[in-house]
Amino acid sequence: MKTKQFLLAAALVAVGMGFSGAAMADRAPTGPELEKIQVALKGMGYVSWDSIDMDDDQTVWEIDDAKLADGTVHDLKLNTSDLTVKEKDPE
């Protein structure tokens, strides 16, 4: 009987761990956050971008396909604290 209770408890813990991962999924910026990010991107010379999402660890904004006026395209990671570039990868 105790084995069945242990297995049930272990299964519930495993299911709970699966749900906690889903709760930490990427999220889109709120309206005020988006405005600040757009101002920062334009200040860096970017004229367009595809998507902006907060990374799972909530320390960086991920910007996909940020395009400069000359056509150069980058994937960017901006620090959430001050919107400085943490990572810049050419496309």
Look at residue 39 in the predicted model and tell me its pLDDT: 98
Gyration radius from the chain CA atoms? 20
Q: What's the confidence (pLDDT) of residue 25? A: 74
Instruction: Extract the residue ranges of the chain whose pLDDT is less than 50.
Output: 6-8, 10-22
pLDDT in the model for residue 6:
47
Q: Model's pTM, two decimal places?
A: 0.72
By C-alpha distance, which of 53, 80, 79 is closest to 64?
A: 53
Distance of CA 39 to the CA centre of its chain: 18
| Spatial contact of 26 and 56, defined as CB atoms under 8 Å apart | yes
